[in-house]
Amino acid sequence: MLSKNKIKYIRSLESKKFRNIHHVFVAEGNKVVADMMGAFPCEWMLAKSSWMATQGNIPAEELWTDEEDEIRKISFLTTPQSVIAVFKLPSYDIREADASTRLVLALDGVQDPGNLGTIVRLANWFGIEHIVCSFDTADAFSPKAVQATMGALSRVKVHYADLKTYLTDASNRSIPLYGTFLKGENLYEQPLSRSGIIVMGNEGNGIRPDIEPLVGCRLYIPSYPPEQLASESLNVAIATAIVCAEFRRRLK
């Protein structure tokens, strides 16, 4: 049976403060945890015996069998699944996110963890291995964001850095910088490169003023038909999907 201290510890990891103190994060669900096991050291796991039987060797430092539906006591999901685990936070080198030979996503103040998790999943789908986030972007290792990635967090490296410094360095190296703006040029009519940085802005305010001058190519996703009244803007995750899809379509 889980102790009160253990339950308190797991529940505390909903907070970024305690995730950073203990240098761990929580993952839940059959697929998400299975994907994470191949990418991050597992500190602790609680799972139903039926799920364990499908996994073979489970590389967890501490492994518990859920005998009394204890997952429900610590789960962050509305409908708990068969496994919950605590993994060690990774430590990445921002130099790996070199956009001179590949596409990199940059997120400027994206606040919603669900949007962030979806963008990580999109990056994985479109073969983008690195995302560089401003320090005020949502935490990719929060329970909600981890769940939204559907395991893609195990294949995409999410970096947190001074975004202006990162983009300035890229600009000085003549790396193409793209960004989405309401007053940009039609995405489908602009030349797009095989490498570079795609900057996506905050849900309500877009790309902030001190980042905007660094973006050399301002892109706009046109509505259809052009003369029809449409919503003012798109959700940032949807916009990211459209832009990434167009970049990859051009590779054909």
Q: Are 85 and 36 in contact (CB under 8 A)?
A: yes
pLDDT, tens digit, 9 for 90 and up, residues 144-176: 999 999 999 999 999 999 999 999 999 999 999
pLDDT, tens digit, 9 for 90 and up, residues 25-65: 999 999 999 999 989 999 999 999 999 999 988 999 999 99
Alpha carbon distance 49, 40 (integer Å): 22
Residue 96, helix vs strand vs coil:
helix
**What is the set of domains in the chain, with CATH numbers?**
4-88 (3.30.1330.30), 94-249 (3.40.1280.10)
What is the reported pLDDT for 187? 96
- Residue 103's nearest CA partner among 176, 160, 211 is 176
pLDDT under 50: residue ranges of the chain: none
| Token output for 172 | 């000085």
Backbone angles phi, psi at 49, to 5 degrees: -60, -35
- The number of C-alpha atoms within 13 Å of 211 and in the hemisphere containing its C-beta is 28
Task: Determine if the peptide bond prior to 213 is cis (ω within 30°).
Answer: no
Residue 174, helix vs strand vs coil:
coil
